Amino acid sequence: MERAKRVIRLFMKNRLAAASLVVFIIVLLFCILGPLFTPYDYSTIDVKNCWQSPSLQHPMGTDGIGRDTMTRLMYGGRTTFSITFTAVLISLLGILPGVAAGFWGGRVDNIISRINDALGAIPTFLMVIFAENMMGWGGGNYRYAMGVALIPPIVRIARSATMEVVGKEYVEAARALGVGSTGIILTHIMRNILSPIIVHVSSSLADTLVMCTLMGYLGIGVNPPEPEWGNIVHGGYAVILSKPIQMIIPSSLIVICVLSLNLIGNGLRDGLETGKERS
Amino acid sequence: MSNELLRVENLIKTYPARTSKGQPVRAVDDVSFSIEKGKTLGLVGESGSGKTTTGRAVLRLTEPDSGSIFFEGKDITKGNMRPYRRKMQIVFQSPAGSLDPSFPVWKIISEGPKAYKLLKTKREAVELSRELLLRVGLNSEDAFRYPGEFSGGQQQRIGIARALAMEPEFVVCDEPVSALDVSYQAQIVNMLIDLRQERELSYLFISHDLSVVMHLSDEIGVMYQGQLMELGSCEEIAKHPAHPYTRELLRAVPVADPRKAASRESRIIAFPEGSVNRGCPYRLRCPVAGEECGGERPSFRDLGGGHFSACIKE
Amino acid sequence: MAPTFLAIMLVVFLLMSVLPGSNINEFSSNGGGDWLDGIFSSLNMTDSIVARYVRYIVNLAKGDFGEGRSSAGLGSNIFYRLGFTAKLALFGFLLSAIIGIPAGTLAAVKRGGRADKAVSVLTLVMSSLPSYALAVVLVLIFCLYFNLLPPFGFGTPEYYIMPTMVVAAGGVAMTTRMTRSAVSGELGSQYVMVLRAKGLTGRRIVWLHVMKNALGTVVASLTNLASQLLCGTLIAENFFSMPGICQLLTKSISGRNQHTVLGCVAVLSVILMMVNIVSDFAAALLSPRIKDAMVYGGGRQNGES
């Protein structure tokens, strides 16, 4: 745990990363707590007031059928983040086979790597589209497919990190002390493969967020009227030439999130990599 | 015989060839020796002589291909090593590599006893490591630091503390001082000697530095290219080295008196690459080698008094 | 490659036969040629899943994707749109290469300097910007403010400019990053040091070798780039209403037209696989080191010292 403190300290030194973390937390709070403060519901239709520009009543305007955009963004954020986080969590399942492949090598490694390569050969997007098609679209069923599509890189990273650790002398030392394989995996290996995985997770959060909103934007994401950031952008497309702000607002929100996640990931990477090198 | 702690018979370990055209390498080629309780066997040789592999094979960190290992009379060559690991420990050559940088020191030291469920709480583990840290000359507060914060010599002490935590009877010291500054070497070697006395330990001390080995071993084994060239008591080997290779190693040991040093012969012979499969492996460098040395592999001849040599010329 | 493709299609096919509302069973009950029927009936497998799958694959190979909701032949529709998408993707690829490779090389050469930092910042921004956001910005600038380019439709080259930029956006960041790491990897390698130490060799020759090898590495991961470009094309076609295969794909998903989806997925997978093969070849051609690695495989080095 002391090591974690060291990493956090280094991370905080990187002002850009720290600022991004703050920004991201603000956005999260906006989505989680925001709905408590708005008078609107995300499906309150008020067609007379459609396509309003930002005003006091509707700080971010209204959409095509009069729903308040800000409220929709708050709820939409919940949906988007829930899909994104679920997908990334599912991808973490790949740690286990990766460690297994790296630790035991030989045939186990062969089998796992082949399956992993086959899975990774399928382009993410096609897999997701296909899964959505199959499972009935809407309701964010595609989060499971996204999660699965994110597994191969994790397996690869876990595997190579494990292989690096397995070759180290302290693993041999642990064996000489009488520690069994399970013990070695749970302690030495797990602690030492965390950093590359964390770095990857942060960047995959950003990519998954983009992909999730992408699906929404193409109109093949969550079912309306349920809001999701990509959906909202999609909705704004109808009036892009007349009222471009309708697309700009949700897009900017998305861009801010993705940018912060990327910067956080960069900060984490720098923090973890320099934190490890101590002579 | 009841005094015998470790016996190794005809140990062989071969590694497959690295390239498609190369030969498999016999890292340990029919090595036999025994160590009595409380005694120290020093294993000397240059890099590639197989001494490190032997050390690891004895502990079965590397599985031997054939041969037998007996510990306290029991055959431990195959089967579960776990019951024996308590009594047989190892100190590694590179201090930094053998300590997990993500573990605090107390965790490193108590890892062994914890694996045998000898320690139940974290407090016990920290207590134990504090005691051992003091014993190896470090501070008890160091228990909460990380290996990266220590110097090489200190890290090596942590490694020794870790080995001692198991209260072993036998410790393989794999070049424990080779990676350290000369000033540190003496400290660590002396500490090992003290510990040996205190706890009645037996060592298999591996090193390429003959002077260090002679300082703390009761018996010495000389290895070359995986084979044991000479085996005998420290005194015998120092005074009457029977094998030409042993003599070459002795020549390399610095001698205080410059007049004596000058009188020693030295000869540099270039030896061709390629594996040597026939006869004595040393013959390509040997100053007294002859035709007959390229024939059969010389057997380990008993010269009396526990002194063995694998040279047919003596 | 073929096994991977067949595997993908098998999974696709099995899932589709299991799910309700899919009419793939009727589709694959006949067709494929009489010789197939002969084989299957002799093995008593006429109606099994295997038979249906094989028929489906054979049909695909003949270009017959079955009937879509609109009774126009799906196959021809797909192939017509394919040409479109291919043009768009190709332009996008060229654009990202034209921008990305020099940028990456510059960053690698002036490592740590201002140019490198600037390039890093730009890469970060580009990879954080979802393509549709970029599309919005482009439309804003070029259509609304400057009134230069038409936003929707196709035909004359001007319609292609913004879509190409959107497609390229997905690829530029990746290309730049890869080129930078590949080139700086080459520049740091031993043969470059040797050549430089000799001093006599002209800069041109050094550069030739460096770039060849670096590009080899970049080309090797062309498949990844292709996935990115695919996403970009999807958005571009959707946003700018260009009749390509990706647009068909998204429309058929929303329209729950499973046949079409299957057909598009099949075609796209094949194309991606071909890209994979081509990229491997090209990489081996460019960089002898990669060629050796591919031919001799990663040698497992056993044994400790």
What is the nearest CA distance from A160 to chain C, expressed in angstroms?
15
pLDDT digits (tens, 9 = 90+) for A148-198: 888 999 999 999 889 888 888 888 888 888 888 888 888 888 888 888 888
Give the 3-state secondary structure of residue B296: coil
Q: In terms of pLDDT, which residue wins out, B200 or A6?
A: B200
C159, C22: one domain: no
| CA–CA min distance A259, chain C (Å) | 5
Task: Give the residue extent of every domain in chain B.
Answer: 4-87+168-309
- pLDDT at residue A89 greater than cutoff 90: yes
Q: Is A169 close to B101, i.e. CB distance below 8 A? A: no
Contact B184, B147 (CB under 8 A): no
* Alpha carbons B129 and B151: distance in angstroms, whole number: 18
SS3 of residue A240 by DSSP: coil
What is the rounded average pLDDT of the residues A136-145?
A: 70
Q: Judge whether C8 lies within some domain.
A: yes
Whether residue C161 sits in one domain with residue C36? no
Question: Which chain A residues are Cβ-neighbours of B99 within 8 angstroms?
Answer: 170, 173
Contact B129, B165 (CB under 8 A): yes
Query: For residues B33 and B31, what is the distance between their CA atoms, to the nearest angstrom?
Result: 7
Is residue C68 assigned to a domain? no
Q: Does C297 touch chain B (CB under 8 A)?
A: no
**Same-domain check for residues C249 and C172:** yes
| C-alpha count within 13 angstroms, C-beta hemisphere, residue C154 | 16
CA dist., res. A192 & res. C97, Å (int): 37
Q: Which CATH number do you get for residue A187?
A: 1.10.3720.10
Within a domain: C98: yes
Closest CA to B105 of B153, B78, B63, B140: B140
Chain C's closest residue to B51, CA to CA, is C305
CB A161 within 8 A of CB A196: yes
The Cα–Cα gap between C251 and A219 comes to 9
Reduced to 3 states (helix: H, G, I; strand: E, B; else coil), residue A129 is helix
- Tens-place pLDDT, residues B166-220: 889 999 999 988 888 888 888 889 999 999 999 889 999 999 888 888 888 999 9
Residue of C nearest to A207 (CA): C128
Query: Rg (Cα) of chain B, in Å, rounded?
Result: 21
Residue B266: pLDDT band (50, 70, 90) is very low
Assign residue B24 a region (left: φ > 0; alpha: ψ between -120 and 50; beta: otherwise).
Answer: beta
The dihedral built from the CA positions of residue C53, C54, C56 and C60, taken in this order, carries a sign that is positive
Query: Is the Cβ pair A123, C129 closer than 8 Å?
Result: no
Beta carbons of B233 and B305 less than 8 angstroms apart: yes
CB-based contacts of B58, cutoff 8 Å, min separation 6 = B6, B8, B11, B69, B88, B172, B204
Tell me how far apart the alpha carbons of residues C119 and B97 are, in angstroms, rounded to a whole number: 38
Q: How many inter-chain contacts (A to B, CB under 8 Å) are there? A: 69
Contact pairs from chain A to chain C, CB under 8 Å: 99
**DSSP state, A53?**
P
Structural domain of residue A104, as residue ranges?
Answer: 2-278
- In A, minimum Cα distance to C6 occurs at A118
* Closest to C161 measured CA to CA, from C170, C171, C152: C152
pLDDT band with cut points at 50, 70 and 90 for residue A49:
low
Q: Is C302 within the bounds of a domain?
A: no
CA C21, CA C256: separation in Å to the nearest integer? 10
Which bin fits C66, alpha (ψ -120 to 50), beta or left (φ > 0)? left
CATH number at residue C160: 1.10.3720.10
Superfamily of structural domain B4-87+168-309: P-loop containing nucleotide triphosphate hydrolases (3.40.50.300)
Question: What tokens appear for C254 in the block?
Answer: 């929303």
Chain A neighbours, 3+ Cβ pairs < 8 A: B, C
- Find the helix or strand (DSSP H, E) in which A54 lies: none
pLDDT (0 to 100) of residue B203 = 92
Q: Could you say which of C61, C82, C108 is where a domain stops?
A: C61
* C52, part of any domain: yes
User: What is the domain extent for residue C30?
Assistant: 2-61
C85 and C10 co-located in one domain: no
Same domain for C46 and C154, yes or no, is no
Once rounded to an integer, what is the mean pLDDT over residues A6-21? Answer: 80
Beta carbons of B162 and A177 less than 8 Å apart: yes
Question: Are C110 and C257 members of one domain?
Answer: yes
Rounded to an integer, what distance in angstroms lies between the CA atom of residue B85 and that of residue B87?
5
C14: its two tokens: 């099995």
Check whether residue C143 and residue C168 sit in a common domain.
yes
The model's confidence at residue A277, banded by pLDDT at 50, 70 and 90, is very low
Question: 10-residue block means of pLDDT along chain C (305 residues)?
Answer: 63 57 52 60 62 65 50 62 83 88 83 82 85 82 70 69 82 86 78 69 70 81 81 83 80 69 73 80 79 58 30
- Binary contact (B53, C304; C-beta < 8 A): yes
Query: Does residue C259 sit within a domain?
Result: yes
Q: Which residues contact A165 (CB under 8 A, 6 or more apart)?
A: A102, A171, A188, A189, A192, A193
* pLDDT bracket for residue A124 (50, 70, 90): confident
Helices (H), ranges, chain A? 2-13, 15-33, 69-91, 95-104, 106-121, 124-135, 142-149, 151-166, 169-176, 181-184, 190-217, 229-236, 245-276
What's the number of domains chain C is made of? 2
How many domains are contained in chain A? 1
Say whether both C36 and C111 belong to one domain.
no
Residue A30 has pLDDT above 90, yes or no: no
- Is C303 among the domain residues? no
C162 shares a domain with C208: yes
